[in-house]
Amino acid sequence: MGEKTINLEQIHPIDIFGLKEEKLNLLRKAFPKLKIVLRGDKLILAGKDDEIKLFEQKINRIFQHFNYYNKITGENILEIVADDTGEVSPAVAGADSPHVLVYGRDGMVVKARTPNQKRMVASFKENDMIFAIGPAGTGKTYTAVAIAVRALKNKEVKRIILTRPAVEAGENLGFLPGDLRDKLDPYLQPLYDALRDMIPMPRLASYIEDGTIEIAPLAFMRGRTLDNAFAILDEAQNATENQMKMFVTRMGKSAKFIITGDITQIDLPKNQNSGLITSVKILKNIKGIDFIFLGEKDIIRHPLVNKIIGAYEVSDKKNLSR
């Protein structure tokens, strides 16, 4: 007789075993010779060593399934228990639909939906640095985060760095309460929102705590070399020329960079040039760097967003002609 404790620190037990342990009861029926007890974030096993070893193999495959799909059903668990091949399922091996980037919260499919979003995904395979430039609602940031999360899951990189220039869009951060983290977290909220869609909260919290995922203002990148990292600079239109040069030269070995921005929404003072606009001119002919320009056809928000952007473009053209 032996005993084994399996830690569930990065997985919420309810996500795997259900509210009333209904899915854990399926495992109890499949392993009647084992005593299986769930206590908090620990799964405690007691029984013969060979039974415990077999259970560990099955539960690891269940965890693999959940880590890939962010969801597991009772049927999935029964299939894994009944499968004697010992192989990882094709989906976990990454052999499912090539259009799926990751499976998000509750199994939500996250994929590139428009031609230019798909081009971002394809370009990632061929280039180490991508500039994705386009108006609001084109999914450039969301797609970039999904590509990064997939790369982390596939162990193509060891960490994800998400950053934004701390430029206020018509508001003053200095009047917000709290310390620097409290002031900046709301500004970085769109990045947190995307991550929460794609990574279960317990695992995301663990990743942030141990530095696997870092979200920080652009100024915090100075002096660093980002090795084995996937770095995303969001809202890059608000980076100055010096900040942009600083960021793109942070690239270390085995690194991937995506820079996203909207050149129609620049919040810099009038006496400062946008580093995003300058970088298009300076870096456009360098092999290994790709520029992807998203437009109205890539907008996937509410249909009104497309019309609103079009109306503003017409207004801007009229103002320029005066």
91 pLDDT above the threshold of 60: no
- Asked whether the predicted pLDDT for residue 219 surpasses 80, the reply is yes
CA–CA distance, 284 with 231 (Å, rounded to integer): 19
Residue range 8-44, pLDDT digits in tens: 877 778 888 888 888 999 999 999 999 999 988 889 9
Beta bridge partners of 162: 215, 232
Domain extent, residue 199, equals: 100-321
Mean pLDDT of 232-245: 94
Identify whether 201 is part of a domain. yes
Residues 167, 46 share a domain: no
91 within some domain: no
In a domain, 296, yes or no: yes
Q: Are 24 and 69 in contact (CB under 8 A)?
A: no
Confidence of residue 73 (pLDDT cuts 50, 70, 90): confident
Asked if the model's pLDDT at residue 315 lies above 80, the reply is no
Query: What percent of the chain shows pLDDT beyond 70?
Result: 86
| Mean pLDDT, residues 223-231 | 95
Q: Which residues contact 231 (CB under 8 A, 6 or more apart)?
A: 160, 161, 162, 163, 247, 250, 251, 255, 256, 257, 258
pTM for this model (two decimals): 0.74
Mean pLDDT, residues 164-192 taken together: 63
Q: Is residue 63 part of a domain?
A: yes
Q: Among residues 54, 82, 110, which one ends one of the domains?
A: 82
Model confidence band, residue 103 (pLDDT cutoffs 50, 70, 90): confident
What pLDDT score was predicted for residue 305?
A: 72
Sequence letter at residue 22: E
Pair 60, 119 in one domain: no
Of 35-44, 84-93, 107-116, 223-232, which range is least confident?
84-93
| Mean of pLDDT values over 315-320 | 68
Q: 90: pLDDT confidence band, cut at 50, 70 and 90?
A: very low
Are 134 and 28 in the same domain? no
Residue 134 clears pLDDT 80, i.e. is over it:
yes
Q: Are 78 and 117 within one domain?
A: no
Confirm whether 88 is domain-assigned: no
Q: Is the pLDDT of residue 310 over 50?
A: yes
Same domain? 22 vs 163: no
Is residue 174 domain-shared with residue 271, that is, in the same domain?
Answer: yes
Q: Is 55 exposed, middle or buried (0-12, 13-18, 19+ CB in 10 A)?
A: buried
Q: Assess whether 122 and 74 both reside in one domain.
A: no
Q: Is the pLDDT of residue 70 over 70?
A: yes
**Is 77 in the same domain as 161?**
no
63 and 114 share one domain: no
How many whole angstroms separate alpha carbon 242 and alpha carbon 246? 6
Q: Quick one: pLDDT band at residue 117, thresholds 50, 70, 90?
A: very high
Indicate the number of domains in the chain: 2
Domain of 159: which CATH number? Answer: 3.40.50.300
pLDDT at 284 over 80: yes
pLDDT for residue 309: 72
Average pLDDT, the chain: 85
Mean pLDDT throughout 196-214?
Answer: 89
Answer yes or no: do 72 and 206 share one domain.
no
CATH number, position 20: 3.30.1370.10
pLDDT band, very low/low/confident/very high, at 188 (cuts 50, 70, 90): confident
For 137-172, the pLDDT digits (tens) are 899 999 999 999 999 988 999 999 999 887 654 444
Provide the 3-class DSSP secondary structure of residue 218: helix
Higher pLDDT, 85 or 128: 128
Residues 76 and 112 grouped into a single domain: no
Residues 146 and 240 in one domain: yes
Query: Would you say residue 146 lies in a domain?
Result: yes
CB 188 within 8 A of CB 215: yes
